[in-house]
Amino acid sequence: MPNFVFYDFETSSSNKQWGQIIEIGAILADDELNELDRFESRCRLSPGIIPEAMSLIVTNTSPKKLKEINLSHYGMVRQFVEKLKSWGKVTYIGWNNIEFDQIFWRNTLFQNLEYPFTSTTNGNREGDLLNLARAANLYYPNTLKNAINAKGNLEYKLDTMAPLNGIKHIAHRAIGDCGATLEVARIIKKKAPSVWNSSLLTLGKDESLKIIKSEKLFCANEFYYGKVVPFVQTFVCQHPIYQWPKTFDLKHDPSVYMNMPVEVLKTELKKAPKVLRTCRHNKHPIVMNPSYIDHFEEYKMIGINKLTERAEIVRKNKKFSEKVELILRDEAQEKVETKSQEDICEEESLYNFSPQQSEDNKILSGFHEAEWDRKLSYLQKFKDKRFHYFGKKLIYQEKPDLLPKEDYDEIHSTILKRVLSTTDDKKWNTIPRTYKEIDDLRAKFEKSKETEKLKMLEEINVYVEELEKSYTTA
Q: What is the DSSP string of 348-414?
A: G-TT---HHHHHHHTTHHHHHHS-HHHHHHHGGG--SHHHHHHHHHHHHHH-GGGS-HHHHHHHHHH
For residues 449, 452, 457, 463, the Cα torsion angle rounded to the nearest 10 degrees is 160
**Could you give the angle at which helices 262-269 and 318-338 cross, rounded to 10 degrees?**
70
Helix (H, G, I), strand (E, B) or coil at 459: helix
Q: For 46, which DSSP code? A: P
pLDDT of residue 342: 60
Would you call the peptide bond into 273 cis, given omega within 30 degrees of 0 as the criterion? yes
Tell me the pairing of strands 218-224 and 245-249.
unpaired
Inform me whether the pLDDT recorded for 443 exceeds 80.
yes
Nearest to 397 by CA among 375, 382, 378: 375
Q: Count how many Cα atoms sit within 13 Å of the Cα of residue 153 in the half-sphere of its side chain.
A: 12
For residues 444, 447, 452, 453, the Cα torsion angle rounded to the nearest 10 degrees is 0
- Quick one: which H or E segment has residue 14? none
Is 32 within 8 Å of 196 (Cβ atoms)? Answer: no
Of 10-19, 123-132, 301-310, 338-347, least confident by mean pLDDT is: 338-347
Mean pLDDT for 8-28 is 96
Inform me whether the pLDDT recorded for 338 exceeds 60.
no
Mean pLDDT for 389-396 is 97
Inform me whether the pLDDT recorded for 384 exceeds 60.
yes
pLDDT, mean over the chain: 94
Inform me whether the pLDDT recorded for 337 exceeds 60.
no
- Residue 294 vs residue 174, higher pLDDT: 174
**pLDDT, tens digit, 9 for 90 and up, residues 231-288:** 999 999 999 999 999 999 999 999 999 999 999 999 999 999 999 999 999 999 999 9
**Which pTM does this prediction carry?**
0.94
Helix (H, G, I), strand (E, B) or coil at 295: helix
- The pLDDT > 70 percentage for the chain reads 98
pLDDT of residue 336: 63
**pLDDT, tens digit, 9 for 90 and up, residues 447-460:** 999 999 999 999 99
pLDDT of residue 71: 97
**Longest Cα–Cα distance in the chain:** 75
Query: Residue 294 — pLDDT band, cuts 50, 70, 90?
Result: confident
- Cα 59 to chain centroid distance, Å, stands at 18
pLDDT of residue 365: 94
Query: Residue 170 — pLDDT band, cuts 50, 70, 90?
Result: confident
**pLDDT, tens digit, 9 for 90 and up, residues 79-118:** 999 999 999 999 999 999 999 999 999 999 999 999 999 9
* Structural domains of the chain in order of their starting residue, each with its CATH number: 3-195 (3.30.420.10), 201-338 (3.30.1520.20), 346-472 (no CATH)
